[in-house]
Amino acid sequence: VAAPDIPADWRPERERVTGGPPDATLPPGALVMGILNATPDSFSNGGQHAQADDAIAAGRRMLAAGATILDIGGESTRPGAQPLPPGEEWRRVGPVIAGLRGAGGLISVDTRHAEVMARALEAGADVINDVSALAHDPDAAPMLARHTTPVILMHMRGTPETMNALAVYDDVAVDVVRELGARVAIAEDAGIARDRILVDPGFGFAKDAAQNITLLRRLPILANLGCRVLVGTSRKRFIGQITGVARADDRDPGTLAATLPGLDLPGALLRVHAVEPMIQALRVWQALHPSGRQATKQGVSPPSLQDRSTS
């Protein structure tokens, strides 16, 4: 079912979908994406990687732990965050891209600005991750259409400043699929092929705790979009609300539980702050599901009790 055609009263009889084409330009199987915030004001690790040398060192540690992709961001999109000029955003992320280019992993740049996207691609970025799904900057889609880079489109309503007031849905899972499907269609109309597009349901963006849980329970419905899916629950507020853990940096155990449902989708990207625990959890999951989807990285071996690789 194509998302833009989903009727308002549609409810799938079977939401556990096992199809969905792999993106031709990314490795197959589940991939771990390490979050690298080069910002002074992110909700987690805010300021720890604000200096380029610190961010580069952290990125290398994530790659050594088994991450396939590093997602480098220079603009905080936490609830209530103020927008950042593209020039300042590039000042933060440009040196980090340069320092990690050739370090052994793929580089994703988390940005809403066409100017930053273009400069990142010129500097060697492999993936563009736009939390606005190309809605923030009208120049983004036509610029990306001139490239072959994978593009991640995230579901959000409004902006980081306004999104919390927009968390009203008839059916959060169906509405997210429909709204993401509309953004995928806009990207395709601009000339971005669907096999380049990945989708992110946007946990914590214009969604309250109950809606995040519902969306996680019904995550396989996203396969109806025919795109690989990014699961980004890492250290989010709803995990703290469930567990009673107030400090974001202490929510990694809850993050594992909230991320593993993504493995019901083929080729999921698992976006986390703490890479090593996610790699361990993924290897155990693979050992328990030997016929399931495989992570194939550099770093995540196929499940075998005889395999003692720590690469």
- What is the CATH number for 205? 3.20.20.20
Active-site positions?
236, 271
Cα separation, 167 vs 146, whole angstroms = 34
Distances, alpha carbon 160 to alpha carbons 83, 181, 193, 197, 205, in Å: 8, 21, 28, 23, 8
End-to-end alpha carbon distance in the chain: 40
Instruction: Indicate if the pLDDT at residue 225 is higher than 80.
Output: yes
Using a pLDDT cut of 70, give the percent of the chain over it.
Answer: 82
Segment 195-206, tens digit of pLDDT: 999 999 999 999
Question: Domain for residue 311, yes or no?
Answer: no
Residue 20 has pLDDT above 60, yes or no: no
Q: Is 306 among the domain residues?
A: no
Question: What average pLDDT does this structure show over 106-129?
Answer: 98
Calculate the CA dihedral of residues 232, 88, 60, 123 and round it to 10 degrees.
100
How many structural domains does the chain have? 1
3-state DSSP assignment of residue 268? coil
215 domain residue, yes or no: yes
Domain-embedded: residue 225: yes
User: Lowest-pLDDT range, 69-73, 90-94, 262-266?
Assistant: 262-266
Residue 141: strand, helix, or coil: helix
Sequence letter at residue 195: D
Question: Domain for residue 98, yes or no?
Answer: yes
Q: Identify whether 21 is part of a domain.
A: no
Residue 283 lies in a domain: no
Select the more confidently predicted residue: 277 or 302: 277
| Structural domain containing residue 124 | 3-8+27-276
The rounded mean pLDDT for the chain is 86
Structural domain includes residue 284: no
